[in-house]
């Protein structure tokens, strides 16, 4: 009933391949404390990851690759979230509604900040797309003119190959 699913351990090489990074990147993020200090691995033994760890890692990668955040900024965010996780432990034991309220509001602020950044980048991308599309129209127009010009100047058709 309330039995927890076996957390499906995955090794670092498979994780790296799934997320499109190298194992070095994952180790570096761990070194910076970005991977929740889980597992308590004994030195020299293999790193093992659950699906939750992978989701966490993917979020870090998106914050970096899609939103352009520095790892320092992401670490700061993570420390916020870690404080949240620490308090969540108390959540189960001794609630204290005032604390819960505080935690939930902080979590909301973080997510809304990330949503803001996503929208900023979407806007910038859309603007860039517009300029590229305009350039494409111009090029296509020139190509049409070229085809028409060479057709009227001479009997040679526009070169189709090579």
Binding site for a second copy (CB under 8 A): 62, 65-66, 68, 97-98, 100-102, 104-105, 107-108, 111-112, 114-115, 118-119, 121-122, 124-126, 128-129, 132-133, 135-136, 139-140, 142-143, 146, 149-150, 156, 158-159, 162
Judged by CB under 7 A, the residue of 11, 18, 121, 135 near DNA is 11
Q: How far is the CB of 94 from a second copy (least distance, A)?
A: 15
The one of a second copy, DNA, none whose footprint includes residue 22, by CB under 5 to 8 A per kind, is DNA
Nearest-5° angle of CA 124, CA 128, CA 134?
150
Q: Applying CB under 7 A, which part among 16-24, 116-124, 137-145, 146-154 lies near DNA? A: 16-24
Task: Check: CB of residue 71 under 8 Å from CB of residue 32.
Answer: yes
Q: For the beta carbon of residue 137, count every other beta carbon within 10 angstroms.
A: 10
Task: Check: CB of residue 63 under 8 Å from CB of residue 54.
Answer: no
Cα distance between the two ends of the chain = 67
């Amino acid at each position: 009933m309330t039995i927890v699913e076996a957390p499906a351990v995955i090794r670092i090489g498979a994780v790296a391949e799934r997320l499109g990074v190298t194992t070095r990147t994952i180790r570096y993020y761990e070194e910076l404390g970005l991977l929740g200090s889980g597992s308590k691995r004994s030195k020299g033994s293999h790193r093992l990851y659950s699906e939750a760890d992978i989701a966490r890692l993917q979020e870090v990668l998106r914050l970096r690759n899609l939103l352009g955040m520095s790892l320092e900024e992401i670490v700061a965010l993570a420390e916020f979230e870690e404080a949240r996780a620490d308090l969540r432990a108390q959540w189960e034991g001794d609630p204290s509604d005032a604390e819960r309220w505080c935690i939930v509001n902080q979590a909301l602020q973080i997510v809304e900040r990330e949503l803001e950044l996503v929208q900023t980048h979407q806007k910038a991308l859309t603007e860039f797309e517009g300029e590229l599309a305009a350039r494409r129209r111009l090029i296509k127009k020139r190509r049409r003119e070229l085809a028409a010009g060479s057709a009227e100047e001479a009997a040679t058709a526009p070169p189709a190959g090579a």
